Chains A and B, each alone.
Chain A
Amino acid sequence: MLLVKPDFAEELAAHGSDTAMECFNCGTCAAICPLIYEHFPRRMLRYIQLGAKEKILEEPAELWRCLHCGLCTQTCPRGADPGEVILGLKRYVTANWRKS
């Protein structure tokens, strides 16, 4: 059973990223992303919407494959700003490393 936890999106807002809930999963970001693999960054935005924090923390290193090139943000039809969301996730993970 998957439990949806909308609080995670609010938690991320503290790390400068508060647009993930705007995403309607059209996949434009994944199509334009130079990484061209496994639905990045769309998959990460979906995890945030579901509050699937543990899925993101399973393999946090994946976030640093992002080049922060901004193509996803440039083309997002919803203003969900995927590039900044990924940067927010990097900050979130880094802040957690610092705490642990």
Chain B
Amino acid sequence: MYDPKDIIDLLADNVAKTRNPFGISKYWLNGWWKKFDIPRQGGSLLFTGLMYQFMPYIEKTTAYLESYEDSKWAGYARYGKLVPKTLTSLGLAAITPLDEKLKFTNILRNISTILTKSGVDFHYDPSLDDYSGILLYDLGAQDEFVRHAKYVAEKLKAKGVKKIITVDPHTTYALKILFPKYTGISFEVKTYFELINLHSKNGCHQVTLHDPCFYGRYLELSDVPVKALGKLGVECVPARNSGLYTSCCGGPAESISPKLSAEIVERRVAELQETGKQIIAMCPICLGNLRKAGADVEDLSSLIMKCME
């Protein structure tokens, strides 16, 4: 296990200086919308919170953290914040494979396509798409979280944003529950799957959804994707623990203890595999973690796209 203080200090410093926990420049990070046909104005704002974009970098970083956890080198994590952010940015960009970045780029493009095909009035403005700060909140860095959340919320408010479409549970929880509470600024927040209006008979198969903690318990949204998939001809076979009692994938522990995270996800994968069906994730962190544990897992948006083919 790493010293939480070292990790929190590093992440908080990165967020304060670069507005994201990995210190990666937004230019490197957020390119999924480039050369892609997406409305640039009108309707709700599609707000990714950059979580899917972080995933290839999270996977690389946690692989390194895992190698040095509990070793004599672990203590050097505290010096991470002394490394210039430009160097971190370039380093991480260089060691992260392009095909991994493309996988997550495609997920966001799929979500955009699903919204368009569902007739949703929305637009994307990359300059307004920021990290929500949720990791700082989860780690207990409350002052730093509130400072960052105010920056994000005030920026959105200044641009007149009222309706937001989110793509992951962590950002959804931050914008829907935490922002009103800690910044005093509220938006009408919906996840993309709450807006799906698609029908097909191409699905015709069974899957098992892994409910993330934030969707299953905190936001109680588990039934929404089940119904949306039902209209696409896909039947959801529940895992042993799902909905309000869903099991955590272990993802939240990966920055402090990748070993603990691996232990938790192993148990969850076993539960999900009991149904014998294709496993579907709705959260980038869960997707990455389940995949790392060897599960055959697909993102919800990829499944929906297949059903529409």
Query: What residues make up the interface of A, taking CB atoms closer than 8 Å to B?
Result: 15-16, 34-35, 60-61, 63-65, 67-71, 73-74, 87, 89-91, 93-95, 97-98
Residues of B within 8 A of A35 (CB): 260
* Contact indicator B139/A69 (Cβ below 8 Å): no
Residues of A within 8 A of B267 (CB): 34
Interface-located stretch among B95-103, B118-126, B153-161, B246-254 = B246-254
B309 to chain A, nearest CB (A): 35
Cα–Cα distance between A91 and B3 once the two chains are bound (Å): 15
Residues of B within 8 A of A87 (CB): 138, 140
Asked whether any CB of chain A lies closer than 8 Å to the CB of B58, the reply is no
* Contact indicator A95/B142 (Cβ below 8 Å): yes
Contact pick for B248, options A61, A67, A91, CB 8 Å: A67
A interface secondary structure, majority: helix
Question: If A34-B267, A64-B256 touch, does A15 touch B248 (CB 8 Å cutoff)?
Answer: no
Residues of B within 8 A of A94 (CB): 5, 8, 139-142
Residues of A within 8 A of B8 (CB): 94
B13 to chain A, nearest CB (A): 13
* Contact indicator A68/B244 (Cβ below 8 Å): no
Question: If A74-B244, A94-B8 touch, does A64 touch B139 (CB 8 Å cutoff)?
Answer: yes
Question: If A64-B139, A87-B140 touch, does A71 touch B264 (CB 8 Å cutoff)?
Answer: no
Asked whether any CB of chain A lies closer than 8 Å to the CB of B245, the reply is yes
Please list the 4 inter-chain residue pairs (A to B) with the smallest Cβ-Cβ separation, ordered nearest first.
A90-B140, A69-B248, A64-B4, A91-B140
Range for the number of chain B residues in contact with chain A: 20 to 34
A-B contacts, 22 listed (Cβ < 8 Å): A16-B142, A34-B248, A61-B4, A63-B4, A64-B1, A64-B139, A64-B140, A64-B257, A65-B1, A67-B248, A67-B251, A67-B264, A68-B138, A70-B213, A70-B217, A71-B247, A71-B248, A73-B217, A90-B140, A94-B139, A95-B142, A98-B143
Contact pick for B140, options A73, A74, A93, CB 8 Å: A93
* Contact indicator A65/B253 (Cβ below 8 Å): yes
Known: A61-B1, A65-B257. 19 other contacts (CB 8 A): A15-B142, A34-B247, A34-B250, A34-B267, A60-B4, A63-B4, A64-B253, A65-B256, A67-B251, A67-B252, A67-B253, A70-B213, A70-B218, A71-B248, A87-B138, A89-B140, A90-B139, A91-B140, A94-B141
Query: What residues make up the interface of B, taking CB atoms closer than 8 Å to A?
Result: 1, 3-5, 8, 138-143, 213, 217-218, 244-245, 247-248, 250-253, 256-257, 260, 264, 267
A91 to chain B, nearest CB (A): 4
Contact pick for B252, options A16, A61, A68, A93, CB 8 Å: A68
Question: If A67-B253, A94-B141 touch, does A74 touch B248 (CB 8 Å cutoff)?
Answer: no
B233 to chain A, nearest CB (A): 32
A59 to chain B, nearest CB (A): 11
Contact pick for A74, options B141, B245, B252, B253, CB 8 Å: B245
* Contact indicator B213/A69 (Cβ below 8 Å): yes
Residues of B within 8 A of A98 (CB): 143
In this complex, what residue of B is CB-closest to A65? Answer: B260
Residues of A within 8 A of B213 (CB): 67-71
Contact pick for B3, options A61, A65, A68, A73, CB 8 Å: A61
Contact pick for A71, options B4, B142, B217, B250, CB 8 Å: B217
In this complex, what residue of A is CB-closest to B138? Answer: A68
